[in-house]
Chains A and B, each alone.
Chain A
Amino acid sequence: MTDNTAGPDHITGPTPDNALRDADRAAAGGPMLAADGTPLKKSLARALRRQKLRALGLIAPLLIFVLITFVIPIGDMLLRSIKNDIVADTLPRTVQSLSDWDAEAQDLPGEDVWTDFYIDMWFAAERKEHTRLGTRLNYELTGVSSLFRKTGRRVDRFDTDIYTDQFIALDPGWEEPQTWAAMLGDGPASDVLPLTAGAWEDWKAFNVEEGDKVLEEDVPDLMYTALYHELSQGADVSGLSDRLAAAGEAVGGFETVSLREQFADADEDWLDPEVWQIIQLYSPRVTPGYFANAADMQVTPDGVEARPENQRIYGMLFQRTLFMSLMITGSCILLGYPVAWLLANLPMRTANLLMILVLLPFWTSLLVRTSAWKVMLQQQGVINDVLVWLGLVADDARLTMINNQFGTIVAMTHILLPFMILPMYSVMQTIPPSYLRAAKSLGATNWTAFWRVYFPQSVPGIGAGSILVFILAIGYYITPEIVGGNTGTFISNRIAYHISSSLNWGLAAALGSILLVVVLVLYWAYDKIVGIDNVKLG
């Protein structure tokens, strides 16, 4: 057959080289055509379409389930990190009139704003929305919550009834809701008196919400206030109705009440320009405020700036979360590698038995395992007792091993260890023992054979395990909550706090988004450095 001079290149048949040469030859001749002349790619796609549709049909239920129960809620949650509708929805008029107020000047806003704010607050208080708004703004400026609460209780008892009395004294017709309805229904009056007309619309809508009939209810003081305000500002009502024209002429002589004073009476913090700054800053429907907060910064009229040193916590928490996750990943590698090696190299029966031991934690409740660590590690716990009994530790100097970083790292390493061992094991299982033998037969010592030959091939397993453990660790919640104390908690504990205790969902969403981005960036960096193709789960 072949003579001795035939080099490897002359091997006929399917070698990688020949396959590549064939592919080159095919590529040179333009697109391949199928028997009927259509491009081969196109007819292949057509042939595969049915198959693809079938595959799609098979995953559709899960896809829909995940979309509805997971992707959409999470997306909505993440949107909350920038959404800020509450100010603009609750105080629509104020937000508008405040937009051209110059916050820098440190002056209080003018009477326009106070009137708008009075109307907005009145409706908000009636609808009990002012407390929610107060809570929201309280995240940015402490004390705003009680300010709104207090004012909400007072706003319908403002002295604005003097306008009511004066209008009715001028013309008893002003007392009738029908008068207002007729005047502000359709027609020129609503164009001339936009504020009053708008307030009337809101009043009507409010009555519908309450199930009342607007024509049977007393006209509220705020309508008179709005009308007075607009008339006194010189709204041109001539030629509308006689009653209105008469009122227009009379308002000049009305006794007035300063809304600013009224608000100041309710709470003198309203005279603090900072409150108005905050309202103005958080007027837009989209805000960077939550993210600024999450990054230990705050939004000021001058832009975003860092918080004072003593108020920064999230940066530190993120750093701690990353650091501890790395520590946990590292200790999982150190503890898991030998176990995985043993599992991969023992006879099947023994390996299966050991595998059950490795998997045992999976079958135990997470809470139970974490609590067990509490029993083990606490100062009066098992480990301390043993150390004291052995005389290694004095009874009055028992080690603090829980409610700190150490406790969290120990417990989480234990809990996440199987996630490290399993991918490492499945990768190591595919490394034939003949590699180590070959290395030794070539003269390598046990260590060199391991380090130069075995270890590089097990790196994909380490990579897969590390990614798994790290990403699980970085978002872990229950274990740090139970054994972390003050110094061993993660960012996720803070997120949970904002979700369930402080109810600052926006900030929680911002923190969560940052965490997500950090993980994605790390994943990307990992892909760049190690290459995600090098990650094998088996």
Chain B
Amino acid sequence: MADVTNGDAFVAFERVQKSYDGETLVVKDLNLSLPKGEFLTMLGPSGSGKTTCLMMLAGFETATHGEIKLDGKPINNIPPHKRGIGMVFQNYALFPHMTVAENLSFPLEVRRMGKSDREEKVKRALEMVQMGEFGGRRPAQLSGGQQQRIALARALVFEPELVLMDEPLGALDKQLREHMQFEITNIAHNLGITTVYVTHDQTEALTMSDRVAVFDDGRIQQLAPPDELYESPQNSFVAQFIGENNTLEGTIQEIKGNTCTVKLDDGSIIDAKPVNVVKPGDRTLISIRPERVEMNKERLSPDAHTLRAEVVEFIYMGDIFRTRLRVAGTEDFVIKTRNAPDQRRLKKGEQIEIGWLPDDARALDA
């Protein structure tokens, strides 16, 4: 899915730029295309330009430069109400003076649909989000999760092919949020609609999406399926933004095909996989996921480089153990180990030796 050509893209951003003040670009040269039926998440810290992109797609902001195409047609000059894009807002934006059924019926009314058709569709949409009995209520009489469902139903009731969601789960508590994540992806896939979802919550992005576009500084830093994003971050921003990550600074010593050796600042040598480093002598940031760090030397190849480490802190977290180590001059090198019967619990001050497969240590830009 990653290599969609612009030809059969359902939504396409082509060299889109956006500036609010004429001095700085909020979105810098955005190129993005997604095929029909894809669930794409725009993930990024606040101010990274992801919401601006969504608003440009919805038609509430105009692109300063470049073109946005929907189903092959440029939509820059089409007003929002003619784009036929469903949208779920951060605070749901359910109309407080209308009942739930009236809220759902609104998009159908403005499309001049007959009364019986309207009722039928509203009923179906409410059933889809399991809120069949709530048609007569006002939004204020619903809980946050229920409002969320109604907002979703309203965005879908007029059967748009594209649905945009702007941090729709931000106001819910953790349990409900996880439940709704599941439901939203389910509904989106069942209906086969294309979804663009904006969030700053990486767990949400990873669990829900077909592909995730990581935004920072007005650019897409990486666009990839969740597993690729997590396991093969293309640069240090993505590596640090997605999931927990250990970083070690050093200089490239030698690149040999798919592996390289890196000399850390304290002089120790480690193996890594070169990702966006070019030649020996480059500064690099090594990224290692806490769960890929190996304490058992037998699982590593005999010639693997290892590092000495001292346990600074051991935290029992139930399903896993989280151990903080002093390694190569840094004190927040974290490793995670599964709470398995044979897993040893480390003690503070204990000296151990750690290593990893060269593939799990990614040498990224410094």
Q: Are A435 and B93 in contact (CB under 8 A)?
A: yes
Q: Are A441 and B110 in contact (CB under 8 A)?
A: no
Contact of A443 among B81, B97, B131, B141 (CB under 8 A): B81
**Complex Cα spacing A440 to B107, Å:** 9
CB-defined interface of A445-459 with B at 8 Å, one 1/0 digit per residue? 110110011001100
With A8-B145, A11-B145 in contact, do A443 and B87 touch (Cβ < 8 Å)?
Answer: no
- When C-beta atoms are compared, the residue in chain B nearest to A448 turns out to be B110
Interface residue B186 (Cβ < 8 Å from any Cβ of A): yes
- When C-beta atoms are compared, the residue in chain A nearest to B182 turns out to be A4
Contact of B131 among A8, A15, A449 (CB under 8 A): A8
CB-defined interface of B99-110 with A at 8 Å, one 1/0 digit per residue? 000000011001
With A434-B93, A457-B96 in contact, do A443 and B134 touch (Cβ < 8 Å)?
Answer: no
Question: Contacts of B95 on A, CB cut-off 8 Å?
Answer: 435, 438-439, 453, 457
Question: Contacts of A441 on B, CB cut-off 8 Å?
Answer: 58-59, 80-81, 83, 85-87, 155, 164
Q: Are A434 and B89 in contact (CB under 8 A)?
A: yes
Q: Are B179 and A442 in contact (CB under 8 A)?
A: no
Give B131 Cβ to nearest chain A Cβ, in Å.
Answer: 6
Interface residue A468 (Cβ < 8 Å from any Cβ of B): no
Interface residue B183 (Cβ < 8 Å from any Cβ of A): yes
Q: Are B91 and A16 in contact (CB under 8 A)?
A: no
Contact of B60 among A4, A8, A13, A437 (CB under 8 A): A437
Interface residue A17 (Cβ < 8 Å from any Cβ of B): yes
Interface residue A1 (Cβ < 8 Å from any Cβ of B): yes
CB-defined interface of B74-92 with A at 8 Å, one 1/0 digit per residue? 0000011111111101110
Chain B, range 180-206, C-beta contacts under 8 Å to A: 182-183, 186
**Number of B positions contacting A (CB below 8 A):** 44
Q: Are B110 and A444 in contact (CB under 8 A)?
A: yes
**Complex Cα spacing A7 to B126, Å:** 12
Q: Are B93 and A432 in contact (CB under 8 A)?
A: yes
Is chain A's binding surface mostly helix, strand, loop or mixed?
helix
**Complex Cα spacing A457 to B58, Å:** 24
- When C-beta atoms are compared, the residue in chain B nearest to A431 turns out to be B96
CB-defined interface of A400-440 with B at 8 Å, one 1/0 digit per residue? 00000000000000000000000000000000101101111
Chain A, range 184-213, C-beta contacts under 8 Å to B: none
**Complex Cα spacing A129 to B223, Å:** 102
Contact of A2 among B84, B142, B179 (CB under 8 A): B179
Interface residue A529 (Cβ < 8 Å from any Cβ of B): no
Interface residue A6 (Cβ < 8 Å from any Cβ of B): yes
Q: Are A443 and B149 in contact (CB under 8 A)?
A: no
Contact of B97 among A17, A437, A457 (CB under 8 A): A457
Q: Are B90 and A443 in contact (CB under 8 A)?
A: no
Q: Are B176 and A432 in contact (CB under 8 A)?
A: no
**Complex Cα spacing A255 to B50, Å:** 119
- When C-beta atoms are compared, the residue in chain A nearest to B175 turns out to be A1
Chain A, range 5-52, C-beta contacts under 8 Å to B: 6-8, 11, 13, 15-17
Interface residue B10 (Cβ < 8 Å from any Cβ of A): no
Question: Contacts of B96 on A, CB cut-off 8 Å?
Answer: 457
**Complex Cα spacing A446 to B81, Å:** 8
Question: Contacts of A453 on B, CB cut-off 8 Å?
Answer: 95
With A1-B179, A6-B179, A11-B145 in contact, do A432 and B81 touch (Cβ < 8 Å)?
Answer: no
With A434-B90, A448-B110 in contact, do A443 and B60 touch (Cβ < 8 Å)?
Answer: no
Question: Contacts of A435 on B, CB cut-off 8 Å?
Answer: 93, 95
Question: Contacts of A17 on B, CB cut-off 8 Å?
Answer: 143
Give B313 Cβ to nearest chain A Cβ, in Å.
Answer: 29
**Complex Cα spacing A452 to B81, Å:** 14
Interface residue B351 (Cβ < 8 Å from any Cβ of A): no
CB-defined interface of A310-328 with B at 8 Å, one 1/0 digit per residue? 0000000000000000000
Chain B, range 218-259, C-beta contacts under 8 Å to A: none
Question: Contacts of B81 on A, CB cut-off 8 Å?
Answer: 440-446, 449
CB-defined interface of B138-156 with A at 8 Å, one 1/0 digit per residue? 0001110110010000110
Contact of B91 among A15, A432, A449, A452 (CB under 8 A): A432
- When C-beta atoms are compared, the residue in chain B nearest to A455 turns out to be B97
**Complex Cα spacing A434 to B110, Å:** 18
Question: Contacts of B332 on A, CB cut-off 8 Å?
Answer: none
Q: Are B110 and A443 in contact (CB under 8 A)?
A: yes
Give A23 Cβ to nearest chain B Cβ, in Å.
Answer: 14
Q: Are A442 and B130 in contact (CB under 8 A)?
A: no
CB-defined interface of B34-74 with A at 8 Å, one 1/0 digit per residue? 00000000000000000000000011100000000000000
Interface residue B158 (Cβ < 8 Å from any Cβ of A): yes
Give A255 Cβ to nearest chain B Cβ, in Å.
Answer: 93
Question: Contacts of B154 on A, CB cut-off 8 Å?
Answer: 442
**Complex Cα spacing A442 to B105, Å:** 10
Q: Are A443 and B93 in contact (CB under 8 A)?
A: no
Q: Are B145 and A434 in contact (CB under 8 A)?
A: no
**Complex Cα spacing A11 to B149, Å:** 13
Contact of B130 among A8, A15, A437, A446 (CB under 8 A): A8
Q: Are B80 and A440 in contact (CB under 8 A)?
A: yes
Interface residue B344 (Cβ < 8 Å from any Cβ of A): no
Q: Are A442 and B176 in contact (CB under 8 A)?
A: no
**Complex Cα spacing A8 to B176, Å:** 10
Q: Are A8 and B146 in contact (CB under 8 A)?
A: yes
Q: Are B106 and A1 in contact (CB under 8 A)?
A: no
Give A391 Cβ to nearest chain B Cβ, in Å.
Answer: 43
Interface residue B299 (Cβ < 8 Å from any Cβ of A): no
**Complex Cα spacing A434 to B167, Å:** 13
**Complex Cα spacing A445 to B106, Å:** 12
**Complex Cα spacing A4 to B130, Å:** 10
Question: Contacts of B83 on A, CB cut-off 8 Å?
Answer: 441
Interface residue B117 (Cβ < 8 Å from any Cβ of A): no
- When C-beta atoms are compared, the residue in chain A nearest to B111 turns out to be A443
**Complex Cα spacing A435 to B134, Å:** 21
25 contacts between A and B (CB under 8 A): A8-B131, A13-B173, A15-B146, A432-B91, A434-B93, A435-B95, A437-B93, A438-B95, A439-B95, A440-B59, A441-B58, A441-B81, A441-B87, A441-B155, A442-B86, A442-B107, A442-B155, A443-B82, A443-B84, A443-B110, A443-B158, A445-B110, A449-B81, A456-B97, A457-B95
Q: In the A-B complex, list the 4 residue pairs whose CB atoms are closest, starting with the nearest.
A: A442-B107, A15-B143, A438-B93, A441-B87
Taking A439-B106, A442-B154, A444-B110 as known contacts, 10 extra A-B pairs with beta carbons closer than 8 A to each other, sorted by chain A number, are A2-B175, A8-B149, A17-B143, A434-B91, A434-B93, A435-B95, A437-B89, A437-B93, A438-B89, A441-B164
